């Protein structure tokens, strides 16, 4: 038998979520090796997302089975009011499993998603939403121009040709192109070949310009549009994420980017991030001499192979039944 009345009966109002949810997915299993600076990268990501976004939003963080130090940091951030919605998964569900929860459970009608190594520049959210709400039938907007696989924006290019509002050429400045492609591990020679052998597709609608293309690492989209592509069935933590890019394109939606960069990929280090001083963070920065030795191709290849094998032994095993 119940004793007394539930005090919640006397509450007259409840909090309403913001129209936009910024959702960040994070996975840091330990703070050494590849992940030695990952917590500092996460802090920069969240702080940059909150700084001068241009529009109000609620912040949602989905932690995909990180170590205790990372979870303690996130709980502290939530307790101090800097994270509105926090999901702590006991195990790594992979990006597909996390997306199924984030993209269906985020309370906003617009979801701005990002991996936890994304650095945002002032006005990033306002610019993304402007493109999302100006162009018709938009599936997703990534807050930085870079050259993606044309097969994944064929519907966007076709729409531009029909509207006669498309231009093709070299519109992304070389420095902007180089900055991003370096961050994903390509050599300068590979980047130059890519730049010279590819092109940008620029569109304009109602006075707003955008580039064709978008990417799963960061995007802004309407929740009801994303719901059409759920659930995702991915049997690996990474490597199958282009399912979203393909599904959005195949459904005929536009995939767009602003003509100027409003976001950057930090990867797993702060050392090469423009405007970020790694000495001012808690990240451990290796001495230059040691760094030079570790970057020698034979040394790097051998050590990464050993590291990959150890990581798989511990973190890529099938779950016990």
- 208-212/200-205 β-pairing: antiparallel
Cα separation, 142 vs 69, in Å, equals 30
Asked whether residue 244 is domain-assigned, the answer is yes
Which residues are CB-contacts of 242 (< 8 A; sequence separation ≥ 6)? 152, 216
Asked whether residue 236 is domain-assigned, the answer is yes
pLDDT in tens, 238-263: 556 788 999 999 999 999 999 999 99
**Which domain CATH number covers 191?**
3.90.550.10
Count of the separate structural domains present in the chain: 1
181 vs 6, more confident: 181
pLDDT in tens, 113-144: 999 999 999 999 999 999 999 999 999 999 99
Q: CB 24: neighbour CB atoms within 10 A? A: 24
pLDDT in tens, 275-294: 665 444 443 333 334 444 55
pLDDT in tens, 9-51: 666 667 789 999 999 999 999 999 989 999 999 999 999 999 9
Question: What does DSSP assign to residue 186?
Answer: -
Asked whether residue 145 is domain-assigned, the answer is yes
Instruction: Go through 257-266 and write b for each residue having 16 or more CB atoms within 10 A of its CB, e for each that does not.
Output: bbbbbbbbbb
Q: State yes or no: pLDDT of 264 exceeds 60.
A: yes
pLDDT in tens, 183-235: 888 899 999 999 999 999 999 999 999 999 999 999 999 999 999 999 888 76
Looking at residue 277, its pLDDT comes to 53
How high is the mean pLDDT of the chain? Answer: 87
Looking at residue 8, its pLDDT comes to 64
What tokens appear for 167 in the block? 């231009």
Cα separation, 43 vs 41, in Å, equals 5
Which residues are CB-contacts of 108 (< 8 A; sequence separation ≥ 6)? 17, 18, 19, 20, 21, 57, 58, 223
Q: What is the mean pLDDT of residues 169-195?
A: 91
Q: Where are the alpha helices (DSSP H) in 184-296?
A: 188-197, 223-226, 242-250, 288-294
> 69 vs 72, 126, 269, 315, CA distance in Å?
5, 33, 18, 18
What tokens appear for 312 in the block? 């798989």
Q: Please tell me whether residue 88 adopts helix, strand or coil conformation.
A: strand
Domain that holds residue 184: 20-265
pLDDT in tens, 55-111: 999 999 999 999 999 999 999 999 999 999 999 999 999 899 999 999 999 999 999
Asked whether residue 289 is domain-assigned, the answer is no
Asked whether residue 259 is domain-assigned, the answer is yes
Looking at residue 1, its pLDDT comes to 73
């Amino acid at each position: 038998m119940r004793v007394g009345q539930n005090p919640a009966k006397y509450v007259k109002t409840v909090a309403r979520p913001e129209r936009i949810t910024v959702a960040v997915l994070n996975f840091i299993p330990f703070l050494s090796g590849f992940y030695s600076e990952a917590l500092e990268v996460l802090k920069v990501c969240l702080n940059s997302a909150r700084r001068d976004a241009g529009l109000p939003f609620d912040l949602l963080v989905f932690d995909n089975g990180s170590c205790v130090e990372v979870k303690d940091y996130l709980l502290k951030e939530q307790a101090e009011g800097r994270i509105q919605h926090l999901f702590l998964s006991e195990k790594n569900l992979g990006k597909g499993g996390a997306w199924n929860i984030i993209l269906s459970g985020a309370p906003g009608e617009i979801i701005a998603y990002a991996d936890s190594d994304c650095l945002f520049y002032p006005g990033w959210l306002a610019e993304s939403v402007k493109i999302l709400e100006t162009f018709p039938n938009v599936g997703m907007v990534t807050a930085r121009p870079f050259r993606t696989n044309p097969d994944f924006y064929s519907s966007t290019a076709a729409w531009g040709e029909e509207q006669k509002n498309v231009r093709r050429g070299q519109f992304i400045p070389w420095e902007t192109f180089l900055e991003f492609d370096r961050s994903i591990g390509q050599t300068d020679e590979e980047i130059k070949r890519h730049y010279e052998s590819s092109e940008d597709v620029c569109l304009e609608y109602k006075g707003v310009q955008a580039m064709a293309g978008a990417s799963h690492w960061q995007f802004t989209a309407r929740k009801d549009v994303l719901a059409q592509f759920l659930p995702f069935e991915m049997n690996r933590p990474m490597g199958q994420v282009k399912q979203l890019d393909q599904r959005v394109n195949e459904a005929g939606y536009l995939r767009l980017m602003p003509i100027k960069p409003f976001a950057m990929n930090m990867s797993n280090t702060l050392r090469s991030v423009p405007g970020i001083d790694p000495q001012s963070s808690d990240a451990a920065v290796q001495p230059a001499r040691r760094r030079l030795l570790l970057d020698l191709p034979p040394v790097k290849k051998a050590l990464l192979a050993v590291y990959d094998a150890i990581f798989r032994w511990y973190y890529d095993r099938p779950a016990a039944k």
